[in-house]
A and B are shown apart, each in its own frame.
Chain A
Amino acid sequence: MLDIEDLHVKVGDKEVLHDINLHIGEGETHVLLGPNGSGKTTLLMTIMGYSQYVITEGKIIFKGEDVTRMKAHERAKRGIGMLFQRPPTISGLKLGKLLTAISRAKSENIPELARSLNMDRFLDRDINKGFSGGEIKRSEVLQLTIQNPNFIMLDEPESGVDIENISLIGNAIGSLLEKDKRIVKRQKSGLVITHTGYILDYLETDRGHVMCDGQIKCHGNPREIMKDIKERGYRECLECRNP
């Protein structure tokens, strides 16, 4: 599904990602771990195609196609989607209107889908304006449900979400990633950033990666890595790989 080869990324004059290599197969969901500021969000934004992240070397191959030089909307059209941790507030733009624009006149039942995520009361509200943490995440999941990407990046989907909402969001993300389907039938792939790991209770993940200083330093079983980090902290976890 996604292949990243020797990727180097600059923001302004500074290189922020160094020599990233990552392979995510069809139907797989990977977890991206790492301390604050390690470059996890930067990697996701780069894959999405945000223009401030300039790829200086390397390639991003998506479903066999080189998307390295494509703009965000071209990547979105090919099936890349992202749940943002802190999406912008856009004054005057109603959530409902954005959903209609995303659906591209497909016969999606927007009010019905909104109701299933408890967002029906928000269709007439300016997007993200005055939304709580949980509401922002529900709005993001709702947008992604309509967008229906094949590869979904999730930037801390549980942050700011209360306990009551985490199962709603977790289950909705689970079905976006076709976790309800048998492995052989599963075609959607994902890449999740999490700090707490709570979201992993709703998503079985296949592989974990740990980032530090703009590099992926280690790969492995996600639960094992998570456990290691919880017990020893990032410092020691990374030291074991970088003596």
Chain B
Amino acid sequence: MPQPVKVPEISKADQERLAQTGIDLSLQNRCGSYLQMDQDIVHSECSEQGIEVLPYKKAMEKYDWLKEYVWKVVSPDKDDITKYVAAQKDPKGYVIIAHKGSSNIFPIQACLFLGREQIQHVHNIIIAEEGAELHIISGCSSGEKVGHGAAHYGISEFYVGKNAKISFTMIHNWSENIEVYPRSASIVEENGVFLSNYVCMQPVKKIQMYPTATLKGENSVARFSSVVICPEGSYMDLGSRAVLEGKGSSAELVTRAITKGGTIISRGHIAGKRASTRGHLECKGLILKDGVIYAIPEIEGSVIGTELSHEAAVGKLAREEIEYLMSRGLDEDEATATIIRGFLDVKISGLPEALQKQIDASIDEAEKSGF
């Protein structure tokens, strides 16, 4: 059995903030962990046979071939964020390798905690080799005392091998002071499946991300889902992109966005570049308080035989639905929260139950305070 993670210098309140992102320091129902506080790697291990969780530097020393996977799907010259991380002499972050045929029932948790430094940077490489199945929950949070203008720069490169599967569930619990710039991309080989789930129910000063999945292999699949609530003062520029290159590949991009006064830009792009490909993009937005939901769904078909669709809707809570529940005895606040909870309910097919429960739990937590 893995030993519980010993975390020095973390207050009870911060531990709770971490727990809200699905990070379980007792390691129950987790097969491995990576914990980085600011730039210090506190913990890195995995008890599952065939799966390794290594700090970036250690992984590079251990496996020479890993060089081939560095800055391959994300370009170091992409923008200031990637340039900053690429220029680091002492790169941090994690490498997770699910070797051929391995699989984990309990997810690996990767926790990135920003406690006091101005910039936390990570470079992560996640590999599922042929036939492997890898489930990761990534919880990102910041301490109560973190200063204004602190930022998290995270590069993540995913490689989903032939017949392999990666699910990556990211739950954010930052604070009003923090800017977050994930830069991630994935390549999916033949029959591979890549599931990416994003949940953010808490304030953040600014987040900007636009992960891309390139579905290179035949019959490969990508599903992105994002569930976000944006309070006043938060700015969330979120997107996801799928490039359908392999014959028979498919992608589904689903977003549920609620603004309570903040700004959400919900981007999505599916490019159908090969015959027999399918893609669907869906963005539903709810405005609970004057703010912005700017949905920019793009579908781009360039060959005969690609089928792409999108639906986007931004609206308000329907009075009729609220009163229907009130007629059953729920008061107005209960009725409203119940409808919002339903709106945010996105079931992701292929996701292990434990992870779906974790996503549900973090939304339930927000429901407790009436959203």
Contact = CB atoms under 8 A, between A and B. Distances in A.
> Is this pair of chains taken from one and the same complex?
yes
A113 to B, nearest CB: 15
Contacts of A49: 323, 326-327
Interface stretch (A61-69, A82-90, A188-196): A82-90
Given A51-B319, A93-B339, A82 B345 contact: no
Q: Is the interface of B mostly helix, strand, loop or mixed?
A: helix
Contact of A88 (B320, B326, B341): B320
Interface string A83-112: 010011011111001100110100000000
Given A90-B339, A93-B342, A98 B329 contact: no
Contact of A98 (B320, B326, B338, B343): B338
Q: Is the interface of A mostly helix, strand, loop or mixed?
A: mixed
A101 B327 contact: no
Contact of B324 (A52, A77, A88, A147): A88
A2 to B, nearest CB: 16
A147 B338 contact: no
Contacts of B339: 90, 93
B16 interface: no
Interface string B307-337: 0000000000011110111111111101100
Of B324, B335, B346, most buried by chain A (CB within 10 Å of CB) is B324
B185 interface: no
A181 interface: no
B233 to A, nearest CB: 27
Nearest to B335: A73
Interface string B83-113: 0000000000000000000000000000000
Nearest to A93: B342
B328 A98 contact: yes
B327 A91 contact: no
Of A91, A94, A104, most buried by chain B (CB within 10 Å of CB) is A91
Give the 3 A-B CB pairs with smallest separation, nearest first: A92-B342, A93-B342, A92-B345
Interface of A: 48-52, 71-73, 75-77, 81-82, 84, 87-88, 90-94, 97-98, 101-102, 104, 126, 143, 147
Interface of B: 318-321, 323-332, 334-335, 338-339, 341-346
13 contacts: A50-B323, A51-B323, A73-B329, A73-B335, A76-B328, A88-B318, A88-B321, A88-B324, A90-B339, A97-B338, A97-B342, A101-B338, A147-B328
